[in-house]
Structure 1
Amino acid sequence: MATSIRLTIKSIYKNLTPKEQSIADYILKEPQKVSHSSISDIANDLNIADSTFFQFTKKLGFSGFKDFKMALLTSDDYQNSMTTIHQGITQDDDELEMAYKIFDSNISTLLDTKKLLDKQKLKDAVDFIDHSDRLFFFGVGGSEIVASDAYHKFLRSPVNVVHNADYHIQLMEASMMTEKDCALLISHTGKSKETIQLAEVAKKNSAKIIVVTSQIQSQLAKLADIVFTSISEETAFRSEALASRISQLSILDAIFTILMFRNAAGSQTSIGKIREVINKIKE
């Protein structure tokens, strides 16, 4: 299926209405049929009006059904997806097959997320961080693990970074932010009430807001100055939220590396100081 269509659907799916989700499911399940059907045929299959499907294609960013159908027919990724359908883990799989499928899922997650990266967003995000007095990392639950990892990384940069695992302290930190600070918030669904509250407090204080989420139409994403979308594949006993971590970590790795190369001299100094003190305890 066309990458733009498949990934866009995945990134907005949880924010769709039940009727829109049924349309999305149909497109994801029957891409070949959709690409060779008229809008009336599809509408009949779904028991909806032609105009309902037409409006859905517009929600995906297309000018209409013809534009949507052309994208579906001409995409290389669409052609590839017809022969490389991901198979979920089953009870009959042996240990090695299960491990392979987890690796395949992670590879798919990274490749899909990579396709959504935007050069200008990466540049703007690094600009925000580079020109901020302080960079705050916020995350709750599983997302806190990603925030903590990012904090551990960015401590090696010339940037003044702040992070605490306790939500109440995060909220207190957000309340002390200013227009000279930058907040980086991580949330798979973008619906975490705690993370949304953190973003609202930071925004009220005019801080720059960068969000990493899998749902581009979420309430959290709407509060952001810049949104990075992470795409994940769900497998047996592993939710999308758990699978999304590898893509979130990779997005933050990319931002960190760009920042370090931009500030090569300062980065070498900060890394040197950290290596010097860490090496002392390894001797």
Structure 2
Amino acid sequence: MTVSIRLQIKTHYKDFSLKEQKIADYILENPSTVSHSSISDLSNTLGVADSTFFQFTKKLGYNGFKEFKMAMLMQENDLSAISFHENIQQTDNELTMAQKVFDSNMTTLTDTRNLLTEENLKHAVTMIDGSKRVYFFGVGGSEIVATDAYHKFLRSPIAVYHSTDFHIQLMEASLLTSDDCAIFISHTGKSRETIEMAQIAKEAGAKIIVITSHAGSPLAKLGDVVFISISEETEFRSEALASRISQLSIMDALYVILMFINREDAQKSIKKIRQSISKIKENN
């Protein structure tokens, strides 16, 4: 499946230069104008050199402006459908505000789903299934996603580990081997602590899965498999909050696929857990 220009721009936006971000903003805001204009007209409008616009299209994976413009024409409906769902106004009532938050979350999930590939999902699950141990790493808001994943994967037949403390995570990373798989979660992909842990894991030979919102980030470059979680930027909540929903969904998908692959052993694990929990509930 071809990734749309809109998603390509959103995925790489934070890695663009200021001039490239200016071009990206104009494309998203004026898709019809861009798809029916020459490179010279667009460059003059934006006050950039033709070569700058040309290199921007190359950065998105096109051979040049002609191929980019053709893709724009084919994807015009997708680009024109852009809506900043969470552009909450002072005059909005509480229900409207809540609905806009839900709309933004649904857009985040749809965009992230459209970036998934069968190849990446198969590769990631094969790495997890073939490892002796699986560790989840994340700091700050990403630690919440890592903890949720750990809580979920405890039900699987795979040995999983996670600590909420950064220093313990750092020690765990140093003890990884080529038999292990490490899953790193970071919205920006630029968290110094997470990058340090990933570098240590890489040097140890561990298999690395990265979940981030920025494809060109330092953390993404360390991953054997990288999943991109798309999110909208809003005024009163950080992108990381929106991306968390898509990151949780990516982890859910990997968990479900893994459990179906190991259906018999997975059922045994779940049965043991349910029996233990049911005893506690009965005592209460």
Structure 2 residues without counterparts, runs of 5 or longer? none
Query: Which residue type is aligned with residue 68 of structure 1?
Result: F
Query: Which residue type is aligned with residue 85 of structure 1?
Result: S
Shift of 1:10: 1.1
User: What is the aligned partner in structure 1 of residue 208 from structure 2?
Assistant: 209
CA gap of 1:3–1:82, structure 2 versus 1, over 3 A, is farther
Q: CA–CA distance in 2 between the matches of 1:3 and 1:122? A: 16
Q: Does 1:52 align with 2:82?
A: no
Secondary structure, aligned partner of 1:212? strand
Aligned length: 280
User: What is the aligned partner in structure 2 of residue 164 from structure 1?
Assistant: 163
1:23-38 superposed matches below 5 A: 23-38=23-38
1:82-97 superposed matches below 5 A: 82-83=80-81, 85-87=83-85, 88-97=87-96
Q: List structure 1 segments (4+ residues) > 6 angstroms apart after TM superposition.
A: none
Q: CA–CA distance in 1 between the matches of 2:95 and 2:80? A: 25
Q: CA–CA distance in 1 between the matches of 2:236 and 2:40? A: 39
Secondary structure, aligned partner of 1:115? helix
Shift of 1:84: 5.5
Secondary structure, aligned partner of 2:209? strand
Shift of 1:236: 3.0
Conserved? CA contact 2:135–2:160, under 8 Å: yes
Shift of 1:90: 1.4
Q: CA–CA distance in 1 between the matches of 2:104 and 2:3? A: 16
Q: CA–CA distance in 1 between the matches of 2:275 and 2:235? A: 44
Q: Does 1:262 align with 2:267?
A: no
User: What is the aligned partner in structure 2 of residue 180 from structure 1?
Assistant: 179
Q: CA–CA distance in 2 between the matches of 1:104 and 1:47? A: 35
Q: CA–CA distance in 1 between the matches of 2:219 and 2:90? A: 37
Of 163-172 and 59-68, more deviation after overlay is shown by 59-68
User: What is the aligned partner in structure 1 of residue 234 from structure 2?
Assistant: 235
Q: CA–CA distance in 2 between the matches of 1:66 and 1:240? A: 33
Secondary structure, aligned partner of 1:184? strand
Q: CA–CA distance in 2 between the matches of 1:189 and 1:11? A: 11
Q: CA–CA distance in 2 between the matches of 1:272 and 1:28? A: 50
User: What is the aligned partner in structure 1 of residue 99 from structure 2?
Assistant: 100
Percent sequence identity is: 64
* Residue 77 (structure 2) aligned to one of 72, 76, 79: 79
User: What is the aligned partner in structure 1 of residue 66 from structure 2?
Assistant: 66
User: What is the aligned partner in structure 2 of residue 142 from structure 1?
Assistant: 141
Of 212-221 and 235-244, more deviation after overlay is shown by 235-244
Secondary structure, aligned partner of 2:219? helix
Q: CA–CA distance in 2 between the matches of 1:86 and 1:279? A: 46
TM-score (structure 2 length as normaliser): 0.96
Secondary structure, aligned partner of 1:244? helix
Shift of 1:147: 0.3
User: What is the aligned partner in structure 2 of residue 278 from structure 1?
Assistant: 277
CA gap of 1:206–1:251, structure 2 versus 1, over 3 A, is same
Shift of 1:282: 1.2
Q: CA–CA distance in 1 between the matches of 2:14 and 2:49? A: 22
Deviations 1:71-111 (A, max 9, x none): 11112xx4155256234111111111011101100000000
Q: CA–CA distance in 1 between the matches of 2:59 and 2:78? A: 25
TM-score (structure 1 length as normaliser): 0.96
**Root mean square deviation, CA, Å:** 1.2
CA gap of 1:257–1:71, structure 2 versus 1, over 3 A, is same
Conserved? CA contact 2:150–2:162, under 8 Å: yes
User: What is the aligned partner in structure 2 of residue 192 from structure 1?
Assistant: 191
